[in-house]
Structure 1
Amino acid sequence: MHTLMIICAGLVLFAILAFAGRLAPAFRPHYFIVFAVLWLFASCINLWVGVVHAGYSFMYELPFFLIVFLVPVIIAYLVKKKYL
């Protein structure tokens, strides 16, 4: 359930940045890159919390990190390519 909530948070972040890109045309070419970098940072923090505070091993958390990072980035890329 936590993974799904984090993925949804990534999609909300993308929606906010895409909307900002629509409002500020100068930002439009860069919002996907900004999203990917911000989401990588947030995903790394999520990984760190899972390892340090929840007590999971790094190798246990790694697949979840990849899912949490890649699913929103791939969806964002496909949406950007199709609609924006």
Structure 2
Amino acid sequence: MRTLLFLAAGLLLLAAFVLLARLFSANYPAAAGWATAAFVALWFVVAAANLWVGVVKAGYSVTEELPILLLIFGLPAAAALLLRWKVL
């Protein structure tokens, strides 16, 4: 359930970054690139923090948490790159 909540949060955060990119793109043409890069960097920090909490607080090993990190980071990041390529 926690993984689904993180995925939903990532997609909502992506929507906010896309909205900001669309708002600023009229005056600042590079806004889409900056928004995509900022989202991917921020989301990696959030996903890495989730891995750290899983290892330190919940007692999972890094090898158990690594696939979750890849899922939590990979899906929203791939969606951001796809949106940047097709929409923005």
TM bucket normalised to smaller:
over 0.9
Q: 1:50 is matched with which residue?
A: 54
Code of the residue aligned with 2:44 in structure 1: it is L
CA deviation after TM superposition for structure 1 residue 78, in Å:
1.2
Percent of aligned positions with the same letter in both sequences? 40
Q: Match for residue 62 of structure 1?
A: 66
Gaps of 5+ in 2: none
CA RMSD of aligned residues (A): 1.0
TM-score (norm 1): 0.93
Equivalent position to 2:39, from 12, 35, 38: 35
**TM-score normalised to the size of structure 2?**
0.89
Deviates more, 1:55-64 or 1:22-31: 22-31
CA distance in 2, matches of 1:62, 1:13: 22
Hey, what does 2:6 align to over in structure 1? 6
Q: How many residues align?
A: 84
AA matched with 1:73: A
| 1:13-70 Cα shifts (integer Å, max 9, x gaps) | 1110110111112223311000000000000000000001111111100110011100
